[in-house]
Structure formats: structure tokens, C-alpha cells
Structure 1
């Protein structure tokens, strides 16, 4: 008996978070794999399925060659996955 494909087991909130993480410049594919057990190829497949064709092309153009999307390509001193001001509360 075959195992269900991992992409079919994801809840809507997980799909949303994976897409968000994939768009973030500093979140490596390895972080998505650690949290959701999806490798880079599976993330690309998910993005192709979930985004419009034009949005997928924009995303692929954005992440292609981006050093921060792969842990092994990052500078050793880059330990955080987000900009220091990204999660700070903003005043209205």
C-alpha cells in the first residue's frame, strides 16, 4: 500500500505558512524541510500548484541564485532567518 503524498496531508494554515516562508528571503529551504518535512523540490511543486502561473514565475526568479535560501551557501555569521526589524511592533 502506498503512502499518501506529503503535500496532500497539509492543513490550509500549513500551506499558508509554507508559502510565506518560501517567499521570505532569509528563510532557507532547510528550515521549511525541518518544520514541514518538505524538501526543496516539494516546496517548488507546492508553489507551482498553489500560486498563479505569473506569481510562480516571479517567485522562481526571486529565489533562483539567492544565497540566503540555502544554508550551505550562507556566510557562516548569518544565523537569523529574518531581518532584525521584521517582527518588531510598529506604532500606528
Structure 2
């Protein structure tokens, strides 16, 4: 059972693409798809390989430390 809202596959693909981008914030994703940052993280965990998910989260933390507003 998925913990994220039921979304069409093209929305999931778009959310993942935006989340992987260093230029889109969680606020941008929420504005476009109506999905909270918590749900984006869950969706990424469900759709990426474990190593890719961990690398993505590490990159978010590193960027977040350098920028006042990120993801």
C-alpha cells in the first residue's frame, strides 16, 4: 500500500524530475502538483533505488546548509 496520494504516472514522473532538479524547491512542487514535501520524500523513497534515494537526501542536506531557502 502506497503512503502517497494516488497520482497519475505522468505526475509522479514530473514530481521526481522536479525533486531531482537543483532548481526546483518543495514549494514549487507543491504549487504545481499539490504534494507536500513529506509526500515527495515518500514518493522518492518508493520510486528510487535505495542508494539513489540516500544520495538525493544527502545532496538536499548539503544544499540546505549552504542556502537559506532550498528544499
RMSD: 2.3
Mark the runs of 5 or more structure 1 residues left unpaired by the alignment. Answer: 75-92
Higher Cα radius of gyration: 1
TM-score w.r.t. the length of structure 2 is 0.80
- Counterpart in 2 of 1:86? none
Work out the number of aligned pairs and report it: 67
Mark the runs of 5 or more structure 2 residues left unpaired by the alignment. Answer: none
TM-score w.r.t. the length of structure 1 is 0.63
- Counterpart in 2 of 1:40? 37
Contact 2:29–2:35 (CA<8 Å) still a contact in 1? yes
Between Structure 1 and Structure 2, the one with more helix by share is 2
Deviations 1:12-50 (A, max 9, x none): 111111000000001010010011111111100110011
